[in-house]
Chain A
Amino acid sequence: MKVIKINKKDWENGINQSKKEYQLFGPVKEKDNYIFKKLQLDEYPDMEHKDTLVSPKSILFPQTEKILQTNLDESIDDHHIMKQVKKDYSKRAVISIKPYDAKAIQILNLNFDTDEYKDPYWCEAYKATTFIGLAVNNPSVFDFSSSTNTGPFAEQGLDVLLIDCSKEYLAKVLTDKGQAFLDVAGFNQETDNKKAIEIINNMKKKAENAISSQISTQNLKDKNTLDLYEAPFWDDIAFSCINCGTCSFVCPTCWCFDIQDETKGNLSYRIRNWDTCMSPLFTLHASGHNPRGEKTMRVRQRFMHKLKYFLDKYDNGIMCVGCGRCVKLCPVNIDIRKVCNLMNSHEPDTDN
């Protein structure tokens, strides 16, 4: 594996170069919050950024996305025929994405790109994107990514991993896509690979040790699904939940959406919007029946999906990358770490 050295003095210049071929997305500070957005010509990714409130999944899976369109004007030949909305899928790169958010994109990929079904919007956007990660030297107190199959220096889902070594970045080139980006940016200063890897490994160890929060997931797979479903703790967990969409909307791995049709004049669009299993409307049937009519059922769904159904279906870990966003932002402090540990250690009451 090749490691490239990028002097921080050359960073902005490289970003400018790459903008000639790529649309860039990166974290910037707006008002008092960090958000991921498309960078304008005079904007640069904030390389010191703390967690963005909302995850960068929206770059590939926007909160609101027009997917089909038609014209209702009957004088036009193909009126009322829904057609895929044409979009720009030219090359883009996400700069400074954290390793756990890149891992989350891989989880979303399991849902949107399967052998059976391919979501064209996701697949096209995914194909067009290069992921330039930034290793996390100082994990936040909410970060528990080292116990969710990723971590502050994890490489899964990334094309390049940048490591901030104060005066310079070391760039671990992980894929051809990553190499191509570095070439365009003009970052090509080779370095003593062995030494660089050693430095990176030391920093990695340090960062992993700085993560203070862990979850236990080792028993989840063997637990009986119905035992967990019927566990006595759900009412207690759900009591304080206000059924907002905060936890799902800020989550990098939640993938649910709703379909809406909207018309203005003769132009009609089919749109998909993020949805959340915490909302009663999510499962409301046209008949009026709601199979998840009670709050507890909805709270249980969120955790069962993330920590059990997903695990059972894909055998690929849990559907949480430990970013800690929901832990930090849930207004009533429902903490997935606590719920996960409860589920992981749950023994059904054998008396009845």
Chain B
Amino acid sequence: MNKLTQNIRELSSNLLKNNKVDMVIGFKKGTIPMAVSPMAAHNIEQTKEFIWDSNCGINLANFISDKKEKIGIIAKGCDSRNIVTHITENKISRDKLHIIGVPCTGMIDKIKLQSNFNDDITDYSENGEDIIVKSGLIEKNLKKSDYLKSNCKTCMHRNPVIYDELAAELVQEQKIEDQFADVKKIESLSIEDKWNYFDNLLKDCIRCYACKNACPLCYCPSCFVNESNPQWVGKGQDKTDIKTFHFLRAYHCAGRCTDCGACVQACPMNINVRDFTRKLIKDSYEIYGWEAGLDITKRPLLDTFSLKDDDSFIK
């Protein structure tokens, strides 16, 4: 068992023992290699199921919306930023939460990892920054840093931004040369190429909505895609309807998205829906100097205005 797992179990069981919370939300080991499952521990016994490794990429802030109980939650950098967003958007109150922060060194892109093997991965383990992966045919020792999820590669907030206690020492934040290289690449395309790029990106979308449902921001009781009165968007596989869903969803995340990557991780069709939200993150940052989910005393970007705001786009 790694040290982090041990600490998480200990801190959670203390919280429950001292009746500080009604449940602790964390991850348990999955039934297949590299899978983990969010779980709530209601008693000390259950905290023994908690684990932590580089597969815990799903965002746990998604599991606290509107909860009335007192909750302990294990939060890596991005989860903590979505917790901040939840607090400022009144989805949960700060005093209902006890946050166990987990400084993070990045999560694994399991599709990328699997693409290294000809047969299915049957076993995964890690030792610090090394990962040991076995398939039926071969065993490989790999560097975790080569297999990070793409959002983790450009993450500037590996340390939780809000917490009550920490499960490990804070880590060094990354120095990223060009945080938005991916966005700039798409921006530089001609209008026609851009269209084709997004056409191709969404070609396989089956509208399962795993992307939006894995997203802590998508908490509306009824998403616009589900509304029938009025009906904003068709529900079938029409290309325009699929694009409408993705464009609108992205805009609903403007100034709120923390680039946690849970959407991409959840997508069964391996679609990088972050191509949409990243552009909005870049604009929020470059135009307004805004990064989502850093400070519970600040109102969300699109909730406020300042006379100094750039208005050059109004013509």
- Give the interface of A toward B (CB within 8 A): 30-33, 35, 53-54, 62-64, 138, 140-142, 236, 239-240, 242-246, 249-250, 258, 260, 262, 271, 273, 276, 279-281, 327-329, 331-335, 337-338
- Specify which of B30, B136, B208, B237 is in contact with A333 (CB 8 Å cutoff): B30
Residues of chain A within 8 A (CB-CB) of B269 are 33, 53-54
> Which secondary structure dominates where chain B touches chain A?
loop
Tell me how many residues of B have a C-beta within 8 Å of chain A: 39
Query: How far is it, in angstroms, between the C-alpha of A35 and the C-alpha of B270 when the chains are bound?
Result: 13
CB–CB B35/A333 < 8 A: yes
B36 part of interface (Cβ distance < 8 Å) = yes
Would you give the shortest CB distance from B218 to chain A, in whole angstroms? 10
Stretch at the interface among B114-122, B154-162, B245-253, B275-283: B114-122
- CB distance B214 to A242 under 8 Å? yes
Closest A-chain residue to B136, C-beta based?
A141
Using Cβ atoms and an 8 Å threshold, which residues of chain A touch B119?
138
On B, residues with C-beta under 8 Å from A are: 30-32, 35-40, 58, 62-63, 111, 115, 119-120, 122, 136, 203-204, 206-210, 213-214, 222, 226, 234-238, 265-266, 268-270
Q: Bound state CA distance, A98 and B293, in angstroms? A: 47
**Apart from A53-B269, A239-B63, A273-B236: 13 A-B pairs, beta carbons within 8 A:** A32-B111, A35-B204, A64-B236, A242-B210, A243-B213, A245-B207, A246-B208, A271-B236, A273-B237, A279-B209, A281-B226, A332-B37, A337-B31
**Pairs A–B under 8 Å by Cβ, sample size 19:** A53-B204, A64-B237, A138-B119, A239-B40, A240-B38, A240-B39, A240-B63, A244-B213, A245-B207, A249-B206, A249-B268, A258-B235, A262-B234, A273-B236, A273-B237, A276-B208, A280-B226, A331-B58, A335-B30
Enumerate chain A residues within 8 angstroms of B238, measured Cβ to Cβ: 64, 262
Q: Is the CB of A335 within 8 A of B204?
A: no
Q: Which of chain A's residues have a CB closer than 8 A to the CB of B63?
A: 239-240
In the docked arrangement, what's the CA distance between A116 and B73, Å? Answer: 53
The chain A residue with its CB closest to the CB of B221 is: A280
Inside 8 A of B36's CB, which chain A residues have their CB? 333
Known contacts A33-B269, A245-B207, A249-B206; A141/B214 CB under 8 A: no
B270 near A242 (CB under 8 angstroms)?
no
B residues within 8 A CB of A332?
Answer: 37-38, 58
- Chain A to chain B: the 4 pairs with minimum beta-carbon distance, closest first: A64-B236, A331-B266, A244-B210, A245-B208
Say yes or no: A33 contacts B204, CB within 8 Å: yes
**Within the assembled complex, what's the spacing in Å between the Cα atoms of A271 and B120?**
38
| Bound CA span A283–B40, Å | 27
